[in-house]
């Protein structure tokens, strides 16, 4: 009886160990492959028509400004001012009327000296995969600079390149472990999930992420099927 129990346990243990090793190996690989295409020096960024600025919440539950948000806004503004891109596509979550990441990013960029005419807004960038897909399929960009945290960029670049985009990554100053430790751990898991979605079971949702706002318009503030523009969506 004990032999019958031990054998399945060995197989389970081996499978668990294999899964852990695969997850660690993929995380190491995805970081190493993108190392030479991520920089914090605006002058070293290849010129591109647009920078895709990936969204995050402006404020923490405590009411303080999110350090990740502030870093991304500082980085995006510095990149535009350096003349490496002519437009900034801010892509984030606006599923609720009281939560609007693209609007907050536009305000943050304008406060840093970027004119509103240089900012495009995508209101349906609910996750990294959707932001990348929509930059290409909805807004028509096949090349861009992606702006985000240092640990987030390897996954974003990998997803974009798998969709045939020419991309590089730009990061602001890295945050300390105390400021970003939990987010860095979650990113390790997010990379594994991305690999499973890409190679095993698929993303499980519409790849362009259409959502309906309170006005019944599309997720980027326009009626689905019309041409994407830099005009802001409805107040929601």
Q: What is the pLDDT at residue 181?
A: 94
**Residues 32, 36, 39, 41, CA torsion sign:** positive
* The two three-digit tokens of residue 222, written as one number: 């326009």
Q: pLDDT value at position 215?
A: 30
Q: CB of 133 within 8 A of CB of 206?
A: no
| Per-residue pLDDT of the chain in tens (236 residues, 90 and over written 9) | 556 566 677 788 778 888 899 999 999 999 999 999 999 999 999 999 999 999 999 999 999 999 999 999 999 999 999 999 999 999 999 989 899 999 999 999 999 999 999 999 999 999 999 999 999 999 999 999 999 999 999 999 999 999 999 999 999 998 998 889 999 999 999 999 999 999 998 876 556 765 433 233 344 444 333 333 333 333 22
CATH architecture of 36-201: 3-Layer(aba) Sandwich (3.40)
Whole-angstrom CA distances from 16 to 8, 13, 135 are 12, 5, 37
**What is residue 231's predicted lDDT score, i.e. its pLDDT?**
34
47: which DSSP letter?
Answer: P
pLDDT of the residue at 137 = 93
| 3-state helix, strand and coil shares in percent for the chain, rounded to the nearest 5 | 50, 15, 40
pTM: 0.85
Q: Any bridge partners for residue 166, and if so which?
A: 143
Residue recorded with tokens 């994407």? 228
- For residues 231 and 181, give the distance between their C-alpha atoms in angstroms, rounded to a whole number: 36
What is the pLDDT at residue 13? 78
> What ranges do the domains of the chain cover?
36-201
């Amino acid at each position: 009886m004990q032999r019958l129990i031990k054998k399945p346990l060995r197989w389970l243990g081996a499978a668990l160990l294999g899964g852990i090793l695969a997850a660690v190996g993929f995380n190491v690989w995805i970081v190493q492959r993108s190392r030479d295409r991520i920089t914090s020096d605006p002058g070293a960024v290849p010129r591109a028509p647009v920078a895709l600025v990936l969204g995050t919440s402006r404020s923490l539950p405590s009411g303080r400004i999110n350090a990740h948000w502030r870093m991304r806004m500082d980085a995006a503004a510095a990149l535009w001012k350096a003349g490496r891109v002519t437009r900034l596509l801010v892509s984030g979550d606006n599923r609720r009327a009281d939560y609007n990441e693209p609007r907050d990013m536009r305000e943050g960029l304008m406060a840093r000296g970027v004119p509103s005419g240089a900012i495009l807004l995508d209101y349906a960038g609910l996750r990294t995969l959707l932001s990348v897909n929509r930059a290409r399929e909805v807004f028509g960009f096949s090349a861009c600079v992606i702006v985000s945290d240092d640990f987030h960029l390897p996954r974003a670049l990998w997803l974009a390149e798998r969709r045939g985009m020419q991309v590089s990554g730009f990061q602001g100053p890295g945050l300390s472990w105390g400021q970003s430790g939990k987010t860095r751990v979650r990113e390790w898991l997010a990379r594994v999930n991305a690999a499973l979605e890409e190679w095993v079971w698929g993303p499980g949702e519409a790849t362009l992420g259409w959502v309906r706002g309170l006005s019944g318009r599309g997720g980027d503030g326009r009626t689905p099927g019309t041409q994407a523009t830099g005009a802001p969506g409805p107040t929601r």
